[in-house]
Amino acid sequence: MKAVLALGIVIVLGFLGFRVADPLYDAAARSICSSYAADQGLVLVHARGAPTGRLGFASFPNYSCRLSDSTGRTVFVDENDRLVEPTWEYRGWRAAGWFSWVFSLAAGVGLSWYFGLLKRD
């Protein structure tokens, strides 16, 4: 029963960490998309970031940008297009998102250990 409770704590804190990391991934996408928009003379309409999924699912990009040109035509750019070079600001936001997620998982394990839920009787 204690192991199930410990697993529940880790899952809940991992979920909360993912919820905290999600806006950080979006900020990374906004930073890279806004710099691309400025370079190309486009207007950023929407940017969406996501945690990496490159291992088995290369079709799911880390970021996607919806931009508008001067005629109002919508332009979509994502990581798979390989048009945008990652910046240090982008990498920093992604690292912050990854860190918050991993830290929350480690906090869940630590909290479970602190309450003695991972110790054998």
pLDDT on residue 57 = 54
Domain boundaries, the chain: 2-114
pLDDT on residue 53 = 54
How many residues can be counted in the chain? 121
Tokens 């899952």, located at residue: 11
**0.85 exceeded by the pTM?**
no
pLDDT on residue 59 = 59
Mean pLDDT by 10 residues, the chain (121 residues): 90 92 92 92 91 59 88 89 88 91 94 87 67
pLDDT on residue 58 = 55
